[in-house]
Structure 1
Amino acid sequence: MFAGTTMLLTAAAQAAEIAAQTGAVPPETGGLPQLNSHHFLPQLFWLAVTFVTLLFVMSKIALPRVGEVLEERRDRIKRDLDAAARLKAETDKALADYEKALSDARTNASGIAKETRERLASETETERHRVDEQIAAKLREAEKRIAGTKSKATSAIGDIATDTARAVVEKLIGQSVTPDEVKKVLRPVAGE
């Protein structure tokens, strides 16, 4: 590439020298100098010099810097993608751990709720049996009192009936009767 450029520069320099030696300098005419055919050789010479200089600057200074920037950018993008992939993996792992912990917590809560229900049911059943036993004991005691009161009442009924019968007999016949005589008479009637 540089060899072709060097040859072009050499040819342009030689053409400019030949034009200067032969005195082929064109007369000044009006119009644009770049369109004047007598000015083509110096223009080509400076074009070649500018091209070579620009090529040198671009290849030695600008293009390496652009290449470094591109390489740095490529590396940064790769690092960012790697970091993003790593963070995504960590996030996925954390999410899976969270889901597992949540599932374990639900299972644990369900177990605790079941255990609490069973314990409360057991305590309620125990308390119900205790209360049933207290009620049964009070009922037995009340039945004993009722039976005692009933037997007192029945024995008192006999005494009241005897006293009443004595009073009625005394009023009717005018004689006094003993309680034993009234009981003898009332016993066969009470037995029917």
Structure 2
Amino acid sequence: MAHWYTADLHFGHEAIIRFCKRPFRSASHMDGALLENLWSKVGPEDDLWIVGDFAWGKRSDDEAWLHGIFQQLPGARRHLVIGNHDGAATRALPWDSIGHLAQVEDAPKEPPLTLCHYPMITWEHARRGALQLFGHVHENWTGTRNSVNVGADVWDYCPVQFKAISRRARNLPVNSHWKDAEPRSAGA
């Protein structure tokens, strides 16, 4: 079993293609590509973590359409960390877990990951090197050494695992406010 992370899928959202310069002809083209990418990575025994903004746009209140997209998601367990575009219909889907914040024990001998749709300045175990995974900002910011954007727009529209996230984190800058939030920390 593996954990896979993604954010800001925005299934059904026609305007996100223009807003984020996504390389798709239409929302249905984007939806198909996103699902294909998810299926190319996430195995039948895996956990899929969607760190907010599952769907948006005119169809995001259509319970039958949403359920149809949800049923096409791969993995044994599907989790939603609620984002600003996850309305009542999305929240009502049969997620295995749903909340505004989640902690995931993913890598052996590593502190748990903290998942929140929004970038955070600090979180539990941050002083011990725990990473925070977020979305919300799309392609505008990849994050810092300890807080990494797992959004579809910065990962080639594919979900990602801890190893790749950790590798990217090592190459990101230290958060310029880290010493303000965690002055006794070694820095991340």
Would you call these one fold, judging by a TM-score over 0.5? no
TM-score with structure 2 setting the length: 0.15
TM-score with structure 1 setting the length: 0.15
Q: Which has the higher contact order (CA 8 A, sep 6+)?
A: 2
- Greater strand fraction, Structure 1 or Structure 2: 2
Structure with larger Rg: 1
